[in-house]
Amino acid sequence: MGEFVGIRFGHIKPGSSEVEWYFLSHIEVDGIGGFAKLLRERGADLRDLPRITHPAPLSWGSFVRSIPQLLGPRRRLKWKALPTGSPLPPNSPTPAVAWHVFSEEQTAKIRRSARSSQVTVNSLLLKYLDRVVRPYLEDPSKAIPWMVPVNMRGKADQPEDTANHSSYVGIRVFASEGARDVQRHIYESLAKGRHCANWKAFDATRFTSPGMKRHLIRTDRATSQWNLGSFSNLGVWDADKHIDAPGCQGAWLFAPPTLAIQLIGAGCVTFQGKLSLTLHVHPDLTTAPEVPAEWMRRWVREIETGFPETC
**pLDDT above 60: residue 6:** yes
User: What span, in angstroms and rounded, lies between the C-alpha atoms of 65 and 192?
Assistant: 9
User: What span, in angstroms and rounded, lies between the C-alpha atoms of 50 and 154?
Assistant: 9
- The pLDDT confidence band at residue 130, using thresholds 50, 70 and 90, is very high
**Domain range annotation of the chain:** 6-45+69-305
User: Which of 53-67, 103-117, 126-140, 165-179 has the weakest average pLDDT?
Assistant: 53-67
**pLDDT above 50: residue 150:** yes
pTM value?
0.95
- The pLDDT confidence band at residue 311, using thresholds 50, 70 and 90, is very low
The number of beta carbons lying within 10 Å of the beta carbon of residue 140 is 14
Looking at the domain that runs over 6-45+69-305, which CATH code has it been given? 3.30.559.30
Task: Give tens-digit pLDDT for 77-120.
Answer: 999 999 999 999 988 999 999 999 999 999 999 999 999 999 99
The number of beta carbons lying within 10 Å of the beta carbon of residue 209 is 9
Task: Give tens-digit pLDDT for 200-222.
Answer: 998 888 888 989 988 888 888 88
Give 247's DSSP letter.
G
List for the chain the helix, strand, coil content (%; round to 5).
35, 25, 45
Do 300 and 264 form a contact (C-beta atoms < 8 A)? no
User: Which of 8-17, 98-107, 218-227 has the weakest average pLDDT?
Assistant: 218-227
Q: Would you list the DSSP string of 54-101? A: ------HHHHHHHHHHHTS---PPPBPP--------TT---S-EEEEE
Give 109's DSSP letter.
H
